[in-house]
Amino acid sequence: MGMAGHNLSTRQGLASGKSAKFGNFHGQNCRLPGEGRADYVRPMKKRLMIDLASLPEDGKCFVGELLPEVFDLPAGDAQAVAPLEYDLWAQRYGSELLLTGGLSACFEFTCVRTVHPFLQTIRVENTAISLEIVSEGDLDVTEALREEVLLHFPLDPKCEIGDLAQGCEIDSRYLAVDKAEESGQETPLRAECDDRWSALDNLKDLKDQP
């Protein structure tokens, strides 16, 4: 299993079936993102690299922020508006590296009901990410963290579940067509259709001429 090949079922198995093997994460005093950080500021990073050679046998805590650009989502999709915060315990088990802890990042979504933008923070608590170690040295875990957050995106983003709750009602402008049908009013044909029929009539007139 490669670094990008971790999957949800594998992580769930590691978090539950191997908890005794991996030890007690909460006993390592790692905070969840946003807790107790008012007393210091860490510079944001572009990548999270873990030096396997210097990683203690009993693990190490990694706390910090990655630039929002790590998500690199296409235009039209949700966009990160804040850093990816991580608070993770990293521990090695043979050819496997396990990351446990918390992740969070704030995104601007578009509500599927109102078609208006809203902000929602994606929080992943008690995550467990398993990565295969294929070579010694620095292990880049950035993509694994990115994918873990994206897996927790809402399927149907609605502004009523955003960080600031909003009224989530369909804009009346999008109901105009339905209201016209309910009132019995006929929707006029498009001008392009009229032009096509006119062209056919002209051809028929030409054929009828002697």
pLDDT digits (tens, 9 = 90+) for 29-84: 344 444 444 444 567 889 999 999 999 999 999 999 999 999 999 998 999 999 99
Residue 166, in any domain of the structure: no
Query: Is there a single domain that holds both residue 58 and residue 83?
Result: yes
Residue 63, in any domain of the structure: yes
Owning domain of residue 187: 172-208
Q: Highest-confidence range of 13-17, 95-99, 132-136, 184-188, by mean pLDDT?
A: 95-99
Query: Is there a single domain that holds both residue 14 and residue 91?
Result: yes
Q: How confident is the model at residue 170 (pLDDT cuts 50, 70, 90)?
A: confident
What sign has the CA pseudo-torsion 103, 47, 39, 164?
Answer: negative
The residue type of 194 is: D
Q: What residues form DSSP beta bridges with 100?
A: 89, 128
39 within 8 A of 60, measured Cβ to Cβ:
no
Per mean pLDDT, which range of 59-63, 136-140, 186-190 is the poorest? 186-190
pLDDT at 77: 94
Residue 167, in any domain of the structure: no
Query: Is there a single domain that holds both residue 94 and residue 186?
Result: no
Cα–Cα distances (Å) from 144 to 18, 48, 50, 107, in that order, read: 20, 10, 13, 18
Domain boundary among 126, 141, 161: 161
Reduced to 3 states, what is the DSSP secondary structure of residue 18? coil
CA distance 3 to 129: 9
Among 159, 150, 183, 176, smallest CA distance to 70 is for 150
Phi and psi torsions of 204, nearest 5°:
-65, -40
Query: Is there a single domain that holds both residue 132 and residue 155?
Result: yes
Query: Is there a single domain that holds both residue 142 and residue 113?
Result: yes
Q: How confident is the model at residue 161 (pLDDT cuts 50, 70, 90)?
A: confident
Q: Which residue in this structure is represented by tokens 């902000």?
A: 119
Among 137, 32, 50, smallest CA distance to 91 is for 50
Query: Is there a single domain that holds both residue 77 and residue 180?
Result: no
| Overall number of domains in the chain | 2
Percentage of the chain surpassing pLDDT 90?
49
Query: Is there a single domain that holds both residue 193 and residue 120?
Result: no
Query: Is there a single domain that holds both residue 27 and residue 83?
Result: yes
Q: What residues form DSSP beta bridges with 60?
A: 90
Query: Is there a single domain that holds both residue 50 and residue 94?
Result: yes
Residue 154, in any domain of the structure: yes
Query: Is there a single domain that holds both residue 47 and residue 134?
Result: yes
Query: Is there a single domain that holds both residue 95 and residue 176?
Result: no
Query: Is there a single domain that holds both residue 40 and residue 124?
Result: yes
Domain boundary among 122, 141, 161: 161
Residue 66, in any domain of the structure: yes
pTM value is 0.64
